[in-house]
Amino acid sequence: MTDSTAISVIDGLAEMAGDYDLFIFDLWGVVHNGVAVYPGAADCLGRLRQRGGRVVLLSNAPRPSASVAGHLEELGIAPALYDWLLTSGEATANAIAATDPQPAYFHLGPERSRPTLEACGGREVALEAAELILCTGLFDDDADRAEDYRDLLVGAVARNLPMICANPDLVVVRGDDMIQCAGAVAVFYEELGGRVQRFGKPFPEIFDRLFAASPEIPRSRAVMVGDALATDIQGARRAGIDAIWIVGGIHADEVNLGSDGGFDEARMHQLAEGAGERPRAALSWLRW
């Protein structure tokens, strides 16, 4: 590092792996892009486990952990490559399922979120009969934008319906495309005057669950590896742990990432400073 405020640029996780015992990885934009695992990601997870590191996957996917684990295995990330997987969808479902009496909710999101609804319990109803909106994303995230739901959301605000957001992410990389997530709908709902409760990163509660399951590991020996400044990197700071920023995820274009993994380091520092974040290190893609 050239000074105390600079972010170290590293070639691979091996350079810092000895500093930590608990490695917390985001999924989308770090381990995979929704359709394929990034080259080197599985190898990196395997090497950490071989060295005795505890590997946790922490995702803002709005689906139960078991559903995401199945998708990971289809992509080539076997359960043997990690110790635990926790999703914001699971945290959301647990919270709603524990509500007494269970609410009647309107589901705003794609049909593939059906496992989340089943885990939530409660009753899915039409908007007119709902006590709250459960947002897991957009109805068609390939085509829709949050602003397309203005009329629906204005009506919900008029009824003072709270929204529960099962994925605070604003956008995610799917293949070569950037698509909006439930977090974008939540932000728009707040702009219209609505109330939102979010589960997942960057909120400390989901990190607290991880540390409760690993009480022998102090936070000084834990690191978050993620691509999103607003969720992964901010979440690490709020949880009191270090962060390693994968700039080849949702911020790739902003740092002018090249096909060889090179990027504009000055621009990288500007983005981090603008977001009020200072990860310990940055690298292009997850690799050992």
Domain ranges of the chain: 8-60+202-283, 101-198
Q: DSSP string covering 148-204, please?
A: GGHHHHHHHHHTT--EEES---SEEEETTEEEE-HHHHHHHHHHTT--EEE-STTSH
- Dihedral sign from CA coordinates of 262, 28, 139, 230: negative
b/e burial code for range 234-262 (CB count within 10 A of at least 16 → b): bbbbebebbbbbbbbbbbbeebebeeeee
User: What is the percent of the chain where pLDDT is above 90?
Assistant: 92
- Tell me the mean pLDDT in the region 237-247: 98
3-state secondary structure of 55: strand
Q: Check if 8-60+202-283 and 101-198 are the same fold.
A: yes
Q: Is the pLDDT of residue 227 over 90?
A: yes
CATH class of the domain whose range is 101-198: alpha beta
Q: Model confidence at 172, in pLDDT bands (50, 70, 90)?
A: confident
Q: Is the pLDDT of residue 4 over 60?
A: no
DSSP secondary-structure letter at 247?
Answer: T
Letter for the amino acid at 220?
Answer: S
Q: Model confidence at 209, in pLDDT bands (50, 70, 90)?
A: very high
Instruction: Assign a CATH topology to domain 8-60+202-283.
Output: Rossmann fold (3.40.50)
Average pLDDT, the chain: 95
Question: In this predicted structure, what is the pLDDT of residue 47?
Answer: 98
Q: Model confidence at 5, in pLDDT bands (50, 70, 90)?
A: low
Question: In this predicted structure, what is the pLDDT of residue 33?
Answer: 92
Q: Which position has the higher pLDDT, 122 or 266?
A: 266
Q: What is the pLDDT of residues 18-40, one digit of tens each?
A: 999 999 999 999 999 989 999 99
Q: Are 279 and 249 in contact (CB under 8 A)?
A: no
